[in-house]
Amino acid sequence: MSGFPTNVLAATDGSPQAHLALQMAVDLSSRTGAELHVVHVGELAAMYHPEMRGYAYRHEASEQEARRLLDEESARLRAAGVDVAKAHLRMGRADVEIIELAEELGADVIVVGSRGLGGIRRALVGSVSDSIVHHAHCPVLVVRKKDARGDPEGRG
């Protein structure tokens, strides 16, 4: 990225941290005149085999729920007067899908929220934002919510 970004990709999962990240992405895109793209990645339930009984129904239900969340976030932004260039729905692993979309769009910056998991928990369950930071082709802005004491991880 050279100079101001022209293409901002903001990821959302509907969490409070994602709402803060969206606010930051909106501010960044409005200040720089960049296009704002929003993405939500629906998770696919772990299945042993695609022909497993009920798989198609579960996949469809997951995709519908993901679409509902993305539509609600996009509508909320548009109701606030935010110009969303496009809302993108992806299904799969969040970090992989966000990085791939950012590359497809030629995003200059990716904005994501972080739950601020502690080190042990992060090692066990992984961190989407960590993975994006380490594998993205462009800068990544990670937005974290502070607790009442100002500690971003709530450790006091």
Query: How would you label 105-121 residue by residue, b for 16+ Cβ within 10 Å and e otherwise?
Result: bebbbbbbbbbbbeeee
Question: What confidence score (pLDDT) does residue 117 get?
Answer: 53
Output the pLDDT for position 72.
Answer: 95
In this prediction, residue 3 carries a pLDDT of 75
> What is the per-residue pLDDT for 136?
96
Is 110:77 a contact under the CB 8 Å cutoff?
no
pLDDT at 138 over 70: yes
pLDDT at 40: 96
**Coil vs helix vs strand at 7:** strand
Reported confidence tier of residue 116, pLDDT bands at 50, 70, 90: low
**Which of left, alpha, beta for 58 (phi over 0: left; psi -120 to 50: alpha)?**
alpha
**Quick one: what percent of the chain has pLDDT higher than 70?**
76
Count of other CB atoms within 10 angstroms of residue 29: 24
pTM for the complete prediction?
0.82
Per-residue pLDDT reduced to its tens digit, 13-51: 998 999 999 999 999 999 999 999 999 999 876 655 556
CA distance 145 to 153: 8
Q: What percent of the chain has a predicted confidence (pLDDT) above 90?
A: 62
- Rounded-to-integer distance, Cα 86 and Cα 37, Å: 5
Q: Tell me what the pLDDT averaged over the chain comes to.
A: 84
Q: What is the DSSP string of 30-42?
A: HHHT-EEEEEEEE
Q: Which of 19-23, 89-93, 152-156 has the lowest mean pLDDT?
A: 152-156
With bands split at pLDDT 50, 70 and 90, how would you rate the model's confidence at 83?
very high
Q: For residue 61, name the pLDDT band (cuts at 50, 70, 90).
A: confident
In the chain, what are the domains?
Answer: 7-144 (3.40.50.620)
